Amino acid sequence: MTEELLLAGCLKNNAASQEALYNRFSPKMLGVCYRFAKNREDAEDMLQEGFIKVFTQIHQYRSEGALEGWIRRIIVHTCINILKKNKKFTDSVDLIHANSIHITEAMIPAIMQAKQVVECIRLLPIGYRTVLNLYAIEGFSHKEIAEILDIEESTSRSQYTRAKAVLEDILIKKKILFKPKDKTVFIATAQRL
């Protein structure tokens, strides 16, 4: 079924069209939710609540841009709203991790499995994880993140900086990357994958 037919059916509250739309996009959107959630059950709850919003707001989709992108934005905002509602965003970690940052987004080799990185990101405290996901993965600016999370722009920047430092520590401890005397280097061999 084409996206146009799915949309037409969803606009008429057709259950079969809604189910088809859900089945088409829910696997990717569950991955989005999983990055924000602490566990699979929370991610599934976020996904369900997000798709309820998708179906109630489907009349607002104007076919400007990809439908998947429009759905993803609703899912991301739903995840953030759930975290804010449950006041889980306020978790933090000591500043001790912010002293040396060697990792950049460009350093992650293409051969590294995304699952390893996602699992490491999920180990971050919720505040760090949320800002890292929004900035590095979803592409929001620090100004947008500040507005979404109702925090200062400088707080978003510092949370992101700290998240990278803590993530670096996690990746080192899991031996996904190692730190020789003055460099950070990834270990990603075919044997590990």
Verify that 74 and 102 share a domain, yes or no.
Answer: no
Are 63 and 139 members of one domain? no
- Is 114 in the same domain as 144? yes
H or E, element range at 165: helix 153-173
Domain boundary among 37, 64, 85: 85
CA dist 101 and 99 (Å) reads 7
Scanning 12-152, the segments in alpha helix (DSSP H) are: 15-36, 40-57, 67-85, 114-122, 126-132, 142-149
Pick the last residue of a domain from 85, 107, 130: 85
Contact 142, 160 (CB under 8 A): yes
HSE-CB of 1 using CA atoms within 13 angstroms: 17
Domain extent at residue 16: 3-85
- Do both 178 and 107 map to the same domain? yes
- pLDDT tens digits along 132-178: 999 998 999 999 999 999 899 999 999 999 999 998 888 888 877 66
Q: pLDDT tens for residues 84-123? A: 887 655 444 433 343 444 445 554 444 455 677 778 888 8
Both structure tokens of 189: 């061999």
Residue 193 within any structural domain of the chain: no
Q: Count other Cβ atoms within 10 Å, centred on residue 109.
A: 10
For residues 180 and 102, membership in a common domain is answered with yes
Query: Half-sphere exposure of residue 145, counting CA atoms within 13 Å on the CB side?
Result: 26
**What total of structural domains would you count in the chain?**
2
Entry pTM: 0.69
